[in-house]
Chain A
Amino acid sequence: MPALLTKNRSMFWRIIRRLFESNRGRLFVILLALAAGAAVTAALLNLQVDAKRRLTTEFRAFGANVLVTPGPDPSRNWSPTLPESLVSSVTSALMPPGGRAVGLLYALASVRVSKLHGPGAYDEPQGPVQAVIVGYSSDAFRELLPHQTIEVSQPLGYETPLCYLGINVARKLKANARDSLVLDPWNDCFVQEVDSFGGPEDNRIFVDLESAQRVAGLPAAISLVEVRIPGTARQIEQAAASLQRSIPSAEVRPIRQFTEAEAKIYDRISGVLTATVAIVLLLTGLCVMAAMTNVAMERRNDVGLMKAIGGASRRVLRLFLAEAALLGLTGGVLGAAAGIALSIGLGKAVFGVAARPRLIVYPVSVVLTIIVAIAGAFPLRRLTSIRAASVFRGEA
């Protein structure tokens, strides 16, 4: 009995091999359809997972989304400032990496310009003008406050504090990049950039925190911390809540304008993406199945012959299903590999960063392809009821 089984098995594989070799053109066509389906499946699945994650990092273009402000203080009703050390505790409390925090101190100052370069150089200083100056604790504020650079200067070689001018202040002071500002009374700074923000920041002068603290007479103090927490709305909410727990003295407030809009936009975009990908996958599957069925239908003659020489229906069916599964496996492996390469390219084209290949995508798309291939061969089941004789007489 075992000998017969072995013989049976080797016969089985021989028939399968012959089936593949008999018609190269057809084999190529089937593999092409299956591989195309698998490639699209793998590429889209990979891209979809990656794009959603990448989208939340794209939201950083909106700048800060959480504010840390002085909380109600039972002893003094409202305490106007926060300790500077809070910035580092906020930074260390930001659990999802990629978050940014910058401490800002607002103060009123009278400002003069002393022209160093260009027209009017060495003139009498212009001003003074009353303006709001903002001390920043780190350069991260450039990222947290989206702006358009109007003028920029080459960096200075020597150590003068740099400052960034909002466009309204610059106009009012008639100041340009490369000028020097004198903030009352003794602090000066070099105008590195003039920026347009399109908000109250246009009326402000950004200087380093130390200068601002000296001008305000508030050593080691900041007014608030602007924070960017990356992630989805839920992640931001959780991070803000845990931030609040770690600094109970201050008040942590999501900037609703951005957190709400981000959540809404994220939902919409990921909805579109999921729906498109789902439709494309479903229809691609059906499409490949239809192509497979078409190919399977023309196997009538083969089935008829096998039955005529005594093949049992079940064995014949098993033979063709095995063929379909094998085709699905080959097409799937080839296609999924192409698809992952495709998604890496697509990720680079869209987000400038290659999509990270996810290993789970690979087996999933191969298995899906095999299922589609077998499902496509399934109409052969009907062929088991074929009467061998009628096939050979050429009756349809």
Chain B
Amino acid sequence: MFLRLVADSVTRRPRQKLLTTAALALGMAVATAALSVSLDVGDRLAREFRSLGANLLVTPQADSLPLEIGGVDYRPVNSGAYLPDSDLPKLKTIFWRNNIVAFAPVLEVPVQAWSPASKNVSSPGVVKDVTLIGTWSQHTVTLPDGGMFETGVGKTNPWWHIAGQWFVENSKDCIIGAALAKKIAMKTGDELSVGARDHTHWTKLRITGILSSGGSEEDAVIAPLAIAQQLAGKPGEYRQLYVSALTKPEDDFGRRDPKTMKPDELERWSCSPYVSSIAFSIKQVLPGADVRIIRRVAEGEGRILTRVRILLWLVTLAALLAAALAVGASSAASVIERRTEIGLMKALGAGSGTVGFLLAAEQLLLAFVGGGIGYALGIFLARVVGEKIFGAAPEPSLLVLVLTIGLAAGVTLLGSAVPLRRASRYEPAPILRGE
């Protein structure tokens, strides 16, 4: 009988029910879309922030003090310490290996550069103080577990623009900075000779592209790491390693010194991808290395990410609130209009509890249907937004579905609770008389 009453009320006035369901579905679509976007946006933006490039810098601990001004190191050649590049695959074995997006080792060598046309070292085509930056362009690292990881300086420094092409690893190719290219009047396809200052090694390199970066690299020659190692007489070694990692914005806890933490705190700290805890775990696999957080990048990233996250959560909250109010209002209205029906039921001997229960069941039914439709609609909207802005749709999450349906049920019940309570006080006679 109970079910028949519910079913009957739904089928009897389909338009009203349709409208209430529509209001519910729309409200829940707002909730779903806003929730999905907010849940997803942190990760997407963190990835977006990688366009700032590396946020961690690894240097040898025992290194002498670099005397670098304007991209030229004034240290005596061969002074200082180096790190072995055979250790690099270990970076992808740390706990946070999946957060490491890219890394690139760098070995800078002071060299002389000259075009093959110049007859001797005093010809005008000779440039005495040039830095040759040895690095990876597109390097495939073989990981200890047999996997492959492709990385290179293009990923750690995404603002480098190459007119032409990157050099190929294991070739005698190079790219040169735009300022240097102007100075020595060379272009893509030309051959450039570079030699160590002590004249022990020299080699010819083919220029495959011109680099513009807006930094001191524009005065340098960029070549495969192996060539820099050979020119410097340091096979298998590098001096700086740039690491680009996905991180969680640092809060007060993340900024604390791990040495002062209790064991359980340390565990919590190292299980959050703070930039400092990633730095810590990199330091553990690279012996003799100092890992520094590039503050310029990390600080701004953390701050803006935190702000945007809070902002979106608040927008979501406002959306939830508005959806809840509108849905509540609509279900309240649908109860108010059923005064006569309630009066009739009571006149036939139904208790207030039974009537309330019946109406609540009806509202819940609508909530599930409306919530379900709203969820589907919301996911669709979130997908459109995600694809339009980040080129990737957020994963539909079960959490959002549960939250949405729960919210729909809660809001409809709450919305109908007030008029229901009033309905329970109705005297059937005046209502049936139409007063």
Contacts and interface: CB of A to CB of B under 8 A. Distances in A.
A284 B319 contact: yes
A197 B319 CA distance: 41
Contact of B295 (A30, A37, A148, A257): A148
A199 B37 contact: no
Given A30-B329, A58-B304, A265 B51 contact: yes
Contacts of B296: 62-63, 145-146, 197-199
Given A291-B23, A297-B19, 7 more contacts: A146-B296, A197-B296, A199-B296, A265-B304, A272-B308, A276-B34, A351-B307
Contacts of B57: 198-199
Contacts of B49: 261, 265
A18 to B, nearest CB: 16
B412 interface: no
Interface string B9-53: 000110110011011001101100110010001001100110111
Contacts of A271: 388-389
Interface stretch (B66-74, B142-150, B221-229): B66-74
A228 to B, nearest CB: 12
Nearest to B329: A33
Interface string A246-265: 00000001111111110011
Interface stretch (B86-94, B109-117, B331-339): B331-339
Contacts of B128: none
B295 A146 contact: yes
Contacts of B68: 132, 200, 203
B126 to A, nearest CB: 14
B416 to A, nearest CB: 11
Nearest to B322: A40
Contacts of B19: 290, 293-294, 297
Contacts of B431: none
Given A44-B315, A108-B67, A147-B295, A287 B327 contact: yes
Contact of B214 (A253, A277, A287, A293): A253
Interface residues of A, number: 82
Contact of B26 (A200, A203, A287): A287
8 contacts: A62-B296, A130-B67, A147-B295, A197-B292, A275-B385, A286-B26, A346-B318, A350-B307
B45 A269 contact: yes
Given A146-B299, A279-B34, A290 B330 contact: yes
A396 interface: yes
Contacts of A396: 12-13
Interface string A43-63: 110010001000100110111
B263 interface: no
B428 to A, nearest CB: 17
A172 B62 CA distance: 10
B384 to A, nearest CB: 8
Contacts of B385: 272, 275-276, 279
B157 A257 contact: yes
Contact size class for B?
A: 35 or more
B390 interface: yes
A298 B338 CA distance: 10
A260 B13 CA distance: 59
Interface of A: 23, 25-26, 29-30, 32-33, 36-37, 39-40, 43-44, 47, 51, 55, 58-59, 61-63, 106, 108, 129-132, 145-148, 167-169, 172, 196-200, 202-203, 223, 253-261, 264-265, 268-269, 271-273, 275-277, 279-280, 283-284, 286-288, 290-291, 293-295, 297-298, 342, 346, 349-351, 396
Which of B16, B52, B292, B311 counts the most A-chain CB atoms under 10 A from its CB? B311
Interface in B280-298: 292-298
A284 B323 contact: yes
B376 interface: no
A349 B388 CA distance: 28
B233 to A, nearest CB: 23
B154 interface: no
A296 to B, nearest CB: 10
Contacts of A44: 315, 318
B121 interface: no
Given A169-B65, A264-B48, A291-B330, A197 B321 contact: no
Interface in B389-426: 389-390, 419, 422
Contacts of B381: 279
A365 B419 CA distance: 29
B31 to A, nearest CB: 9
B300 interface: yes
B162 interface: no
A257 B159 contact: yes
Interface of A is mostly: helix
B141 interface: no
B107 to A, nearest CB: 16
A350 B314 contact: yes
Interface string B98-139: 000000000000000000000000000000000000000000
Which of A261, A272, A287, A293 counts the most B-chain CB atoms under 10 A from its CB? A287
A148 to B, nearest CB: 6
A36 B325 contact: yes
B230 interface: no
B53 A257 contact: yes
B349 interface: no
Which of A145, A196, A257 counts the most B-chain CB atoms under 10 A from its CB? A257
A258 B297 CA distance: 9
Given A36-B322, A199-B296, A26 B314 contact: no
B26 A290 contact: yes
A15 to B, nearest CB: 20
Contacts of A351: 307
B321 A257 contact: no
Given A148-B295, A297-B16, A32 B325 contact: yes
B215 interface: yes
A44 B314 CA distance: 10
Contacts of A146: 295-296, 299-300
A256 B329 contact: no
A197 to B, nearest CB: 5
Contacts of B48: 264-265, 268
Closest 6 CB pairs of A and B: A256-B214, A290-B23, A61-B300, A36-B325, A33-B329, A198-B294
Contact of A276 (B15, B20, B312, B322): B312
Contacts of B310: 349-350
Contacts of B299: 61-62, 146, 148
Given A283-B323, A342-B318, A129 B65 contact: yes
B325 A280 contact: no
Contact of A287 (B37, B53, B315, B322): B322
Contacts of A298: 333, 336-337
Nearest to A271: B389
